[in-house]
Chains A and B, each alone.
Chain A
Amino acid sequence: MEPKVIFNHHLKNVKPSVVGKFLEIANEYKEIISLSVGEPDFQTPWHIRQAGIEALEQGKTFYSPVRGLLALRQEISEYMAKRFNTLYQPKTEILATVGSSEAIEMAYRTLLNPGDEVLIVQPSYLVYEPMVYMAGAIPVIIETFEKDGFRLKPEQLKEKITSKSRLLILPYPCNPTGAIMEKEDLESIAEVIRETDMLVLSDEIYAELNYSDISHVSIASIEGMRERTIVTSGFSKAFAMTGWRIGYACAPEEIISAMTKYHQYAIMCAPTISQFAGIEALKNGAGDIVAMRNEYNMRRRYIVDRLLKMGLSCYEPKGAFYVFPNISSTGLNSEDFCEKLLKQKQVAVIPGNAFGECGEGFVRISYSFSLKHIIEAMNRMEEFIQELSREN
């Protein structure tokens, strides 16, 4: 008998991203200046790499405990307490994962049932929505707007809550908008959530890249929220450690136990070498974060200034390393804008609609590139905008 491949039927709900189509065009060009990537341009600080090398030298090449090395979880616990005022028990409330990506996936897999509704704030990281489909649940999109600084408003949240709502994905600091939520914003959201039995998944991977005067506030630190929040975070963005694939989830014991059960069978453990590097990062990496943040901040100010001078409307991002200008005044939609910019000036940025339909009319510009690179890209983009307005 012929084999018959039958795919998981949820897979058909996962549409190919517009990013894929766009990258195909980008690949035809040799000399492109890219402002598209979503990871730091810095290399992992040397002392952290060295900790990885030492772990290798000492032959620490075995599986770690399922939840991760206790020493790592202790560091994470201390770090979360010190930086965000949230207390998690290292032994029971922290799980080390393969990047925060796995933490998000484990949360979905263990907390969602078919028919559950997951409220997703958009524009946001384009992984949240398809993975909800894969868990058999239903994504419910909450659009945020430039005029609100892309913050989630409590009225908007209330409107979308039904008896089936199980989980709210809170994506701040936000990729791609650069929006953040301040304490008062979170308090008003918490007020709504506390009236329900929903949980919150707070993706705080960009928590350290916050350029406002007050540093990141976690919704888990707001009254009555810790017991209903899963915080996912990791080392990728704060310590420039994307390739190490190390992240974590912090949540109440019951939730972490369930996630651990699944993680044990699906993954076994996060990469051991990376866990050793992670310990060093948390112990001695605070200065690296400050240095990288200062560098990003300069680039952020520069790009926003240039975009405003080009006559584009642009929300001043407060976090992550993206700017999300409004390009609708050019008369082009996001994809046409990006395609033309690529073809005419060989500059690659990402169409805003890749991050949800409400991202239409915007583009995502990443500033995890050297200033020199950014200056050249902005010069080209300026020419492009000038030529467009001459055409019209």
Chain B
Amino acid sequence: MEEVLKLLMQNARLTHSEIAVLLGKEEREVAKIVEKLEEDGVIKGYQAIINYEKLPHIPVFALIECKVMPKAEYGFQEIADRVMALDEVESVYLMAGNYDLAVFVKGNTMQEVANFVAKRLSTLESILSTSTRFVLQRYKQNGIILGEKEISDPRNMVL
């Protein structure tokens, strides 16, 4: 199972039959493992990794660090639920350290992100303060290097 997962994490487009060959298993066995991983919610989805710089319109990404007043009974879950529900939000993590929630958002323009923070996020009642950090350059995403820069193979011995 771990081997299958590792391969899918590297390349989710490998077919069951390719994974079967790579791991020396039967195709049916691989199909079963993947199905189980999906059913159990281990695999939550498959997405393309995009280099937005290649698109005509480059979106704006920001990390918003939020300090939160946790609710007595719910802790951070309630505020996390509310933030997660917002469309602009790509990821939400609870952090150890100087702030509580790391909220990654994507917008079309800086203005759009600014409006989102001012009107939707900081107005939520348990959010004490926010601090918005705009992303200047994305170099690597999910383990994939986004730029064109090929790392050339230094090896030349063929013996």
Which residues of A come within 8 Å of B, CB atoms?
19, 23, 34, 36-39, 41, 125-127, 242, 297-299, 301-302, 305, 350, 371-372
Contact = CB atoms under 8 A, between A and B. Distances in A.
**Closest CB pairs A-B (n = 5):** A298-B22, A305-B21, A37-B155, A36-B158, A38-B159
Given A34-B153, A372-B11, A19 B21 contact: no
A126 B159 contact: yes
Contacts of B23: 298, 301
Contact of A38 (B11, B24, B157): B157
Contacts, number: 38
Nearest to A17: B159
B18 interface: yes
B24 A39 contact: no
21 contacts: A19-B158, A19-B159, A23-B158, A37-B155, A37-B156, A37-B157, A37-B158, A38-B159, A41-B153, A41-B155, A125-B159, A126-B159, A301-B22, A301-B23, A302-B18, A302-B21, A302-B22, A305-B21, A371-B11, A371-B22, A372-B11
Interface string B1-43: 0000000001100000010011110000000000000000000
A299 B7 CA distance: 12
Contacts of B11: 371-372
Contacts of B159: 19, 38, 125-127
A194 to B, nearest CB: 32
Given A37-B157, A301-B23, A350-B158, 7 more contacts: A19-B158, A34-B153, A39-B157, A297-B24, A298-B23, A301-B24, A371-B22
A375 B17 CA distance: 14
B6 to A, nearest CB: 10
Nearest to A176: B159
Most buried by B among A127, A305, A372: A305
Nearest to A211: B24
A197 to B, nearest CB: 32
A355 to B, nearest CB: 10
